[in-house]
Amino acid sequence: MTTLHQPPATLAWHGGPSGYLELIDQTLLPRQCRLIQCRTADDVHEAIRSLRVRGAPAIGIAAAYGLCLAMQHAEDDEERWFAALKRAVAHLASARPTAVNLIWALRRTAAAAQRLRGQVPPTQLGEALLAEARAIEQEDRQTCLAIGQLGAGLLCDGMGVLTHCNTGRLATGGLGTALAIIYCAVQAGKQLHVYATETRPLLQGARLTAWELLHSGISVTLVCDSMAGHLMQQGRVQAVLTGADRIASNGDTANKIGTYALAVLARHHGLPFYVAAPVSTFDLSLSEGTQIPIEERSGREITHPCGVQAAPDGVQTYNPAFDVTPAALITAIVCEHGIIRPVDSQHVALVAGKAPHPRGSTVPLG
Ligand code: MRU
């Protein structure tokens, strides 16, 4: 059994309802592992927007705590308190549009206060918000473990596994999603070799996945995104494993830009393409992937990698942060409820749709 070493906590709430959120500023990794404090909802909005905290489950957890911060100084009047809550949900939800975990976590946290409306004074509702945010974080830890243990069976001893972006401890409240599968397979004694794509333009693979896997003692080789086809042609890769930011009810999956190209390559080379994601990443209100909002980010991320100019002034850019992989290219999706295979509406509903969260009611965003 391989011993895995723990990196520092990705995010942590300190104190009671009047406390604050502390998180690793992931924009500084791997050069510095610096913790920053978020003491207002604006701090959390900025941290999510600028990818100081990123990865679908982690931004959901951060946003839930952001809602706690937003309501720390809200007025005592109940009507005004709930109006402020609604505004804070809308504000935090606007930080990034693609990962559905963000709005899912905000709605769930806000619903915890809604359930107590009229029963306790607004001054006590902060405790309910914090309890729900903490529950979301703790459940995510369990969810990651379940995904890891379920998915580990998909990987065989000696495999080369290609992964994209960062889907590990830095992206969740626990072990991760796709990386949890790798951690659990290695812990179960399987020898794997991970190929991490650098993940242009923001290099989550190079800066974060390589850092995280090295920290954990997992064998990892960093490659440029454009090398994936060559690796497959050379027989170095036996499976591709990624995370997800939003999965439509037919299994179409939005994930970090470049994922779709990897799925096409995997199909061409006859390799399995696996997706790992919690149920909170499924958006069953969408029938297909074309309905998923795709975040477009500043072209400066392309022209100035790591802040250094690498393209001529004035060049046009196009910088979608995510793409959609059609369900037909996905061999299986691993979630905490089980493995969805084949990936189609019927099997998504059967596995991801079962046992919805009992407290998963929603608050309209207005
Ligand atoms: O822009 P990012 O870094 O937030 O993108 C993250 C991804 O695309 C991950 O693959 C996804 O959120 C799953 S994280 C468990």
Tell me the domains of the chain and their CATH numbers: 11-144 (1.20.120.420), 147-356 (3.40.50.10470)
Note the helical H segments in the chain: 41-49, 56-70, 78-93, 101-114, 125-152, 178-187, 210-215, 228-233, 259-268, 300-303, 345-351
Q: Is the CB of 254 under 6 A from ligand 1?
A: no
- 3-class DSSP state of 34: coil
Q: Tens digit of pLDDT per residue, the chain (366 long)?
A: 344 446 679 999 999 999 999 999 999 999 999 999 999 999 999 999 999 999 999 999 999 999 999 999 999 999 999 999 999 999 999 999 999 999 999 999 999 999 999 999 999 999 999 999 999 999 999 999 999 999 999 999 999 999 999 999 999 999 999 999 999 999 999 999 999 999 999 999 999 999 999 999 999 999 999 999 999 999 999 999 999 999 999 999 999 999 999 999 999 999 999 999 999 999 999 999 999 999 999 999 999 999 999 999 999 999 999 999 999 999 999 999 999 999 999 999 999 987 554 443 333 332
Q: Are 343 and 67 in contact (CB under 8 A)?
A: no
Distance 38 CA to ligand 1 centre (A): 21
Q: How far apart are CA 274 and CA 294, in angstroms?
A: 21
Which amino acid, 223? V
Q: How far apart are CA 277 and CA 167, in angstroms?
A: 9
Which tens digits make up the pLDDT trace of 104-124? 999 999 999 999 999 999 999
CA-CA-CA-CA torsion sign (233, 254, 280, 110): positive
Q: How far apart are CA 275 and CA 273, in angstroms?
A: 7
* CA-proximal residue: ligand 1, atom 10 (nearest): 243
Q: Residue written as tokens 């990624």? A: 242
Q: Is the CB of 256 under 6 A from ligand 1?
A: yes
Q: Is the CB of 325 under 6 A from ligand 1?
A: no
Does an H or E element contain 222, and which?
strand 220-223
Is 245 assigned a catalytic role?
Answer: yes
Distance 167 CA to ligand 1 centre (A): 6
Count of other CB atoms within 10 angstroms of residue 334 = 29
Q: Is the CB of 327 under 6 A from ligand 1?
A: no
Q: Is the CB of 160 under 6 A from ligand 1?
A: no
pTM of the model: 0.95
Q: Give residue 2's pLDDT.
A: 43
Q: Are strands 273-276 and 239-242 parallel, antiparallel or unpaired?
A: parallel
Count of other CB atoms within 10 angstroms of residue 46 = 13
Q: Which of 140, 225, 245, 323 is an active site residue?
A: 245
Distance 243 CA to ligand 1 centre (A): 7
Q: Which atom of ligand 1 is nearest to the CA of 321?
A: 1
Q: Residue written as tokens 């952001």? A: 66
Tokens of 96: 């990034």
DSSP 8-class letter at 204: I
Pocket test for ligand 1, best of 167, 172, 273 (most atoms within 8 A of CB): 167
Q: How far apart are CA 237 and CA 171, in angstroms?
A: 24
Distance 50 CA to ligand 1 centre (A): 13
Distance 75 CA to ligand 1 centre (A): 36
Q: Is the CB of 255 under 6 A from ligand 1?
A: yes
Q: Are strands 239-242 and 220-223 parallel, antiparallel or unpaired?
A: unpaired
Region for residue 217 given its phi and psi (left: phi exceeds 0; alpha: psi -120 to 50; beta: otherwise): left
Q: Which atom of ligand 1 is nearest to the CA of 59?
A: 4
Q: Which atom of ligand 1 is nearest to the CA of 101?
A: 12
Q: Is the CB of 243 under 6 A from ligand 1?
A: yes
Distance 121 CA to ligand 1 centre (A): 38
Strand boundaries in 258-342, DSSP class E:
273-276, 282-283, 322-325, 332-335, 338-340
Count of other CB atoms within 10 angstroms of residue 79 = 10
Which amino acid, 32? Q
